[in-house]
Amino acid sequence: MLPNKSRGEFVRNQRKDSEGFSESPDLEFEYADTDKWSAELSELYSYTEGPEFLLNRKCFEEEFRTHVSDKKWTELDVAQHRAHAMRLLDGLEVITREKRLKVSRAILYMVQGTFAECSSEAEVQHWMRYNIFLLLDVGTFTALVELLNMEVDNSAACSSAVRKPAISLADSTDLRVLLNIIYLMVVTIQQEDPADSPEWRATRETFKTELGSPLYNNEPISVMLFGMVTKFCSGHAPHFPMKKVLMLLWKSILFTLGGFEQLQNIKVRKREELRLPPLPEDSIRVIRSMRAASPPASASDLIEQQQKRARREHKSLIKQDNLDAFNEKDPYKSDDPREDEDDNDDNDNSMEAEPFPMERDEVMPPPILHPPSERVNFPKGLPWAPKVREKDIEHFLESSRSKFIGYTLGNDTDTVVGLPRPIHESIRTLKQHKYISIAEIQIAKEDEFQKTPLSGGEEDVEMCSTELLYQGILPSLPQYMIALLKILLAAAPTSKAKTDSINILADVLPEEMPTTVLQSMKLGVDVNRHKEIIVKSISAILLLLLKHFKLNHVYQFEYMAQHLVFANCIPLILKFFNQNIISYITAKNSISVLDFPYCVVHELPELTAESLEAGDINQFCWRNLFSCINLLRILNKLTKWKHSRTMMLVVFKSAPILKRALKVKQAMMQLYVLKLLKVQTKYLGRQWRKSNMKTMSAIYQKVRHRLNDDWAYGNDLDARPWDFQAEECALRANIECFNSRRYDKNQRNPDFLPVDNCLQSVLGQRVDLPEDFQMNYDLWLEREVFSKPISWEELLQ
């Protein structure tokens, strides 16, 4: 038996754990383009693939012993290394599939760092880099991409997989080996090291350019991988290892287009080229310096203890309604997300008491003295500089003129005659914070091209990697978006197994299903991990494409965003978040001793059911938190300045779902949740705003202010429901005009094509006449020219 005091502490600790928010510290998570290099390597392999490491080694050693003496690979000199790499490259050219697979496995073992001759993970990674740059230098990459193309077009394998009732790892062996090699090469070459030689740095830049250029089958490699995704979703190739395809697609886009630091640099450079003012702040740095939106847990804990003591000792002195206000959740109640789904939108305070406990409305007990270190530190200033659009200044001036003078001047933002002095000062303040985006300039230029197709001149399009990728995926972009969202839906933890959903587990299920409890547990962890990695890859792909297309040209971004909206991306992301998000972020679906490269250089301990249940010691799962932030950022990108899409958030009752996501104590994730709540606040009604003042306070503290934006009230001029459909249709018309003008050369209006009016140049052109015409030229002259009378007077008139 526990003593009373200990038992009380135990119950309090249980309550803290069950709430999962008020007592948890800030998550020490740093958002980046990718996880650590070792983590990105290990996620490529499912645990079911473990035995193949030794098979790869065996294939390499058979080839190696045939041509080289008994020396180890690590003992040879550079010339011998290069000679053997060339021999393996020649081996890829053989016709026999079995021999080709053996050579591919030998190359995969080299790419994996010839781990049998290494004693530590650092040594494996050193030899990985060396071997990969060596293989790239001898031309292996191009040969591998050609082989991958051949395997993708292998109709026999596709038809065989379609007929099979159950698909397993064995059906995708050739594809998996090739994708493993290509992925490891891309990820390793992308990884910069200060110790790299100048030759390696030059090789990296060349490889980056080639990867984003249409050199492989006349299209960038990313377009080929998108084709694999759609082929898989159409049901014609159910054996494709989709996790590996998506991971390679993500890393290819990341390498060729650049990550978030590069995006910021491109944005700064483009603003300089357009002679726009510099950015008011570095958004990456601001977000990294922000703290989560809840005060230290110790204060709320002390208040909670005081409340319980007051309730226990002075029950008779407290009114019944105050007792109701102090009611708490049962600490042993199951945390089922379905119970939260039925929350009333207008009175959803279930989560409010947790993130901001210092702002409660109940009758508080006397203040508690606590050490200065435990005091709540409120921010001294707002983190973001306010912004104002040209449109906001126009609206303000129009309303001021109508109010004080009784006339309007359209788009004139300079004339302030007749307006009171305070209005002059307001306009001056608004103009000080005016922000002109790159997108506004691009839209204005496009409007000019559409209005003056003849005098507008030729558009100077920079053929960067983003432009080349957009041109490659443009013909089938809607199908690509639908395919990615189908896979995301199948991988989401909230999705129920349906007969018509696609099978994304083809590259994780073994040929023989598990027979013991331990094997079943291991496979269960593997399947969950597999789904998490797919979600991570798709969320990163979509976010990177949206951000790069928006910088390259806003209508490229709008085209992709509109097709995501048409494919129900908004309700899909909301469905993803309609779960116990704390459990998802703290999930422990990994077995660290089986991760590559740990598993190939250490003696593996015996796995037990207890060790599998315990999982790793990390506070949170990096990939799941990364996925959640990416999905929230995608949702923000789709809905920003789009009233029709913001109304979709309201219609799908996103407010309680998003508020539950605020339980995660990570500043960046909370920021994007608050942004999504801010845009719909004005549509949720006065009662909702009144009931959720703590959330409103957090929005005010964390989210950028738009001067003159009455987000906290319901007075929105643009929120006219009958305009929503017209808004999307107008946007779609603009996108189609842009795409046809810039990319559809065959559909150009013949009236706008240049005409040659010079007699000399027209007569001087060489015209190729058919052979039969040349043979019968005399007859043609007689019939068409000499025998026909010409009335010169009429002709001259």
User: pLDDT tens, 4-40?
Assistant: 444 444 344 444 443 334 445 688 899 999 999 999 9
Could you report how far apart the first and last alpha carbons of the chain are, in Å? 120
Cβ-contact 351, 662 below 8 angstroms: yes
Smallest CA-to-CA distance from 296 within 358, 349, 361, 353 is with 358
Give 117-138 as a 3 state SS string: HCCCHHHHHHHHHHHHHHHHHC
* Average pLDDT over the chain, rounded to an integer: 82
Distance CA 250, CA 244 (A): 10
Provide the residue type at 144 as one letter.
L
What residue type is 582 in one-letter code? I
* Predicted pLDDT at 294: 62
Instruction: Answer whether residue 485 shows pLDDT above 60.
Output: yes
Residue 517 and residue 360: Cα distance in Å, rounded? 48
627 CB contacts (<8 Å, ≥6 apart)?
Answer: 532, 535, 536, 539
Contact 570, 652 (CB under 8 A): yes
The tokens for 279 are 């950015």
Q: What ranges in 587-666 are assigned the alpha helix state H?
A: 598-601, 609-614, 622-639, 643-651, 654-661
In degrees, rounded to 5, the angle at the alpha carbon of residue 237 between the alpha carbons of residues 503 and 57 is 85
Please give the share of the chain, as a percent, with pLDDT higher than 90: 48
Does the structure show a pLDDT above 50 at 334?
Answer: no
Q: How far apart are CA 171 and CA 161, in angstroms?
A: 7
Amino acid present at 538: I
- The domain segmentation of the chain, as residue ranges, is 37-255, 390-433
DSSP 495: P
Mean pLDDT of 290-306: 55
Question: Which two tokens mark 368?
Answer: 């508690």
> For residue 368, is pLDDT > 90?
no
> In this structure, what token pair is assigned to residue 517?
């409890």
Alpha-carbon distance 324 to 335, whole Å?
Answer: 22
Taking a C-beta distance cutoff of 8 angstroms, is the pair 346, 650 a contact? Answer: no
Cα-Cα-Cα-Cα dihedral of 429, 431, 433, 438, to 10°?
170
User: Bridge partners of 469?
Assistant: none
Burial class (CB in 10 A: 0-12, 13-18, 19+), 101: middle
Burial state string for 762-787 with b = 16 or more CB within 10 A and e = fewer than 16 = eeeeeeeeeeeeeeeeeeeeeeeeee
Q: How confident is the model at residue 305 (pLDDT cuts 50, 70, 90)?
A: low
- For 644-681, the pLDDT digits (tens) are 899 999 999 999 999 999 999 999 999 999 999 999 99
pLDDT of residue 634: 98
Average pLDDT estimate for 623-647: 95
**Closest CA relative to residue 48, chosen from 530, 548, 689, 633:** 530
Read off φ and ψ for residue 219, nearest 5 degrees.
Answer: -155, 150
Q: Are 605 and 593 in contact (CB under 8 A)?
A: yes
* Angle, helix 693-702 to helix 667-681, in steps of 10 degrees: 110
pLDDT of residue 166: 81
Whether the CB-CB separation of 534 and 246 falls below 8 Å is answered with yes
Q: How far is residue 78's CA from residue 666's CA, in Å, rounded to a whole number?
A: 48
Residue 344 has pLDDT above 60, yes or no: no
Q: What is the 3 state secondary structure string of 377-435?
A: CCCCCCCCCCEECHHHHHHHHHHHHHHHCCCCCCCCCCCCCCCCHHHHHHHHHHHHCEC
Contact yes or no for 676/658 (Cβ under 8 A):
yes
CA distances to 16, 34, 204, 245, 288 from 627, rounded to whole Å, are: 26, 11, 28, 18, 17
> Which pLDDT band, with edges at 50, 70 and 90, does 523 fall under?
very high
Greater confidence, 795 or 213? 213
CA distance 182 to 247: 11
Whether 613 has a pLDDT exceeding 50, the answer reads yes
Closest CA to 607 of 673, 728, 547, 526: 526
204 vs 80, 113, 465, 521, 718, CA distance in Å?
Answer: 23, 19, 15, 41, 49
What pLDDT, on a 0 to 100 scale, did the predictor assign at position 565?
Answer: 96
How far is it between the farthest Cα atoms of the chain? 125
Average pLDDT on 297-316 reads 51
Q: Give the model's pLDDT for residue 347.
A: 43
Mean pLDDT of 508-517: 87
Closest residue by Cα to residue 700 from 716, 713, 712, 685: 712
| Residue 444, both tokens | 């204005």
142-167 mean pLDDT: 88
Question: DSSP class of residue 387?
Answer: B
What is the spatial distance between Cα 241 and Cα 617, in angstroms, rounded to a whole number?
A: 30
How does residue 751 score in pLDDT terms, banded at 50, 70 and 90? low
* Structure tokens belonging to residue 466: 């983003």
Outline where 663-709 has alpha helix (H). Answer: 667-681, 686-691, 693-702
Compute and round to an integer the Cα radius of gyration of the chain.
Answer: 32
The total of other beta-carbon atoms located within 10 Å of residue 684's CB is: 18
CB atoms closer than 10 angstroms to residue 154: 16
Q: Are the C-beta atoms of 598 and 592 separated by less than 8 Å?
A: yes
Helical axes 554-566 vs 622-639, angle rounded to 10°? 100
Least confident of 38-42, 66-70, 608-612, 667-671: 66-70
Q: Which residues pair with 676 in a beta bridge?
A: none
In the predicted structure, residue 311 carries a pLDDT above the cut 80: no
Contact predicate 556/549, CB 8 Å: yes
Alpha-carbon distance of 128 to 185, in angstroms, equals 9
Cβ contact 505:530 at 8 Å? yes
Token pair in block for residue 782: 């007689």
Alpha helix segments (H runs only) across 314-372? 320-325, 337-340
Whether the pLDDT of residue 698 is over 80: the answer is yes
| Angle, CA 317 vertex, CA 316 and CA 321 arms, to 5° | 90
Per-residue pLDDT tens over the stretch 371-424: 443 333 444 678 899 999 998 998 889 888 888 888 778 778 888 888 899 999
Mean pLDDT, residues 612-632 taken together: 87
The pLDDT of residue 750: 64
Task: Give the residue-averaged pLDDT of 425-438.
Answer: 93
Residues with Cβ < 8 Å from 28, sequence gap 6 or more? 619
Contact between 135 and 110 under an 8 Å Cβ cutoff? The reply is: yes
CA-CA distance, 233 to 501, in Å (whole number)? 10
